[in-house]
Amino acid sequence: MLLSIQDLKVAFRMGRVDGQMQRQLAVKGVSFDVPENSTVALVGESGSGKSVTAMSVLNLLPSNAEREGRILFQGRDLLQASMRELQAIRGKDIACVFQDPMSSLNPVFDVATQISEPLRKHLGLSRRQALVRAEELLHEVGIPEPRRRLKAYPHEMSGGQQQRVMIAVALACSPKLLIADEPTTALDVTIQRQVMELMARLKESHRMSLLFISHDLGVVGEISDQVVVMRHGQVRENAPVAQIFNAPQDAYTKALLACRPSLSDNAPRLMVIDDHIAGRAAGSPGKAKDPDAPVVLEVSGLKKSFWLKDGLFGRREFQAVKGVSFKLRKGHTLGVVGESGSGKTTMGLALLRLHEQTGGTMSGQALFDGRDLLTLGGADWQQMRRRIQVVFQNPYASLNPRFTIGQTLREPMEIHGIGASTADREARAVTLLQKVGLDESAMAKYPHEFSGGQRQRIAIARCLTLQPEVLVLDEAVSALDVSVQAQVLNLLKDLQDEFGLSYIFISHDLAVVKFIADEVLVMQNGDVVEQAQTQALIAAPREEYTRRLLGAVPRGYQGQAG
């Protein structure tokens, strides 16, 4: 057995209260094995303890962590290893790939330096030998023009390329075990597919084992041999991947499988974890859409370009959006899909005129209540901004950390003169919090006291303070666990039914778009390549690019029972 985790407990010291040290138990007696040349997946929601368990292997935990149990790597207990012994193992025998490559790669070192470091430290290669091996590794992980890319810095590469560089760094010393902690969560579906296939191929060619951590059973079903399902720091189920998908035993495993949006399922609402475990129904399907509802936003020939530096003094124009047209009806949702760099986010932010200060040109027309959003100025634009709001992808960055939730919700109402008094605005804020599933106690708290899903609910409540008619949702659920994602998607449908909201829902995930959107607009390189009603587009896509996006959606384990 390559790795054996036995009765692992991890607690975090939280400080003293009345002279007593307080401890938070995050992992509560976890046991599982990782055989040689196999892939074991750790699955669970945020807070389940899966990342803490994996990071315990190399003790990559904060200084206030306390570990008990046994972690046997090739028969040697890593919990008893000294820091010097662990440093000799890290990167050489056991390597890690993390979720966010931009925060894992050093921004001040080029790619060559970062891949060469473990080669020189662990294998004793010379600088020239390390550079030759670094180029080979970049080629192996699929980076085009590897010799030229050695001189690049992380910010000069896309997210998918950064993740490939991280994998190259991890593979540099041919480790026996690769720990991959949510390595595809931040990537669009086609890049995610490429990275998953790359890791599976490298696992076979290097004959290493893979400990793959994810919250998405659809992803792990395609890559793993064994699945360990965790919740609240405990293992709920540990079984071969075929059993997990064809005959799950634990109610929590069944709930995780049920709350994923699917390309084949037409459920009007998604199951959430607690409802599924309690045996409750998913809820009412909501209102039927009126196909003849009035058009609230009509966009014609929208173009957006940016000025890029060209040479020492020159510049050139980059066309990010090349003529997008659509109509959005009251109470309807337009899904906008495409890979990173397709122009979908730029299009959404251009409608809100959040790109104007970055240079470049914008043209076309965006008629909202008969007025062009792109030409309004002064008080007219300020008034119109009330009616079209945005929810961003990252709930951690979109809320002011210095404001309480009450201040966050009151501020836009004060700016736009909504509410007769502070007490009135306070009451409106509490009502909106209740609508998004939070209670009045949240008003006095700060953003850091909430989970990612709760923060996204607060961001949605903030938008609703202005009683908007259109919401632009820019990858608003892509950073969330599948279970929390299901809650937020159901919430968006409920709010749409109650307030008649219209959504522009920007996403790279066609399964999510299928669940929430009435019409889909597919973008590639700034162009609209296909536009159709959701069911028609999913059933019979006309364009090869759309078929490729659909083919990249993780479908889970596709084998047969038994």
**Where are the alpha helices (H) located in 352-421, listed in sequence order?**
378-385, 405-415
- Cβ neighbours of residue 501 closer than 8 Å, sequence gap 6 or more: 331, 468, 469, 470, 471, 495
Would you state the pLDDT for residue 561?
Answer: 40
**In the chain, domain spans:** 295-387+469-480+493-551, 395-467
- Alpha carbon 82 to chain centroid distance? 36
Q: What is the pLDDT of residues 22-57, one digit of tens each?
A: 898 999 999 999 999 999 999 988 788 998 999 999
- Cβ neighbours of residue 88 closer than 8 Å, sequence gap 6 or more: 122
- Alpha carbon 457 to chain centroid distance? 16
Q: Given the structure tokens 């995610």, which residue do they identify? A: 192
With residues binned 3-state (H G I as helix, E B as strand, rest as coil), the percentages for the chain, rounded to 5, are: 40, 25, 35
Give the residue-averaged pLDDT of 356-376.
Answer: 84
- Cβ neighbours of residue 487 closer than 8 Å, sequence gap 6 or more: 272, 437, 453
15 or 327, which is more confident: 327
238 sits in which H/E element: strand 234-240
The average confidence (pLDDT) of the chain is 88
Which region, left, alpha or beta, applies to residue 345 given φ > 0 means left and ψ of -120 to 50 means alpha? alpha
Burial of 393 per CB tally in 10 Å (0-12, 13-18, 19+) = buried
pTM listed for this prediction: 0.82
> For the chain, how big is the Rg over CA atoms in Å?
25
Q: What is the pLDDT of residues 398-431, one digit of tens each?
A: 899 999 999 999 999 998 888 889 999 999 999 9
- Cβ neighbours of residue 148 closer than 8 Å, sequence gap 6 or more: none
Architecture (CATH level 2) of domain 295-387+469-480+493-551: 3-Layer(aba) Sandwich (3.40)
Instruction: Give the burial string for 319-357 (b: 16+ CB within 10 Å, else e).
Output: bbbbebebebbbbbbbbbbbbebbbbbbbbbbbbbebee
The yes-or-no verdict on residue 283 having pLDDT over 70 is no
Nearest alpha carbon to residue 31 among 54, 62, 8, 47:
8
CA within 13 Å, CB half, 407: 10
Confidence of residue 59 (pLDDT cuts 50, 70, 90): very high
Give the torsion sign (CA, 188, 194, 198, 200).
Answer: positive
280 or 143, which is more confident: 143
- Cβ neighbours, 10 Å, residue 54: 19
- Cβ neighbours, 10 Å, residue 128: 9
Cα distance from N-terminal residue to C-terminal residue, the chain:
25
- Alpha carbon 241 to chain centroid distance? 23
Listing from the earlier edge strand, what are the strands of the sheet with 20-34? 20-34, 3-17, 65-73, 76-77
495 sits in which H/E element: helix 482-499
53 three-class SS:
helix
The yes-or-no verdict on residue 470 having pLDDT over 90 is yes
Confidence of residue 560 (pLDDT cuts 50, 70, 90): very low
Is 191:339 a contact under the CB 8 Å cutoff? Answer: yes
Would you state the pLDDT for residue 476?
Answer: 85
Q: Rounded to whole angstroms, how far apart are CA atoms 191 and 195?
A: 6
Give the torsion sign (CA, 70, 75, 78, 79).
Answer: positive
Would you state the pLDDT for residue 386?
Answer: 87
Distances (CA, A) of 6 to 3, 71, 83, 128, 271: 10, 6, 21, 43, 34
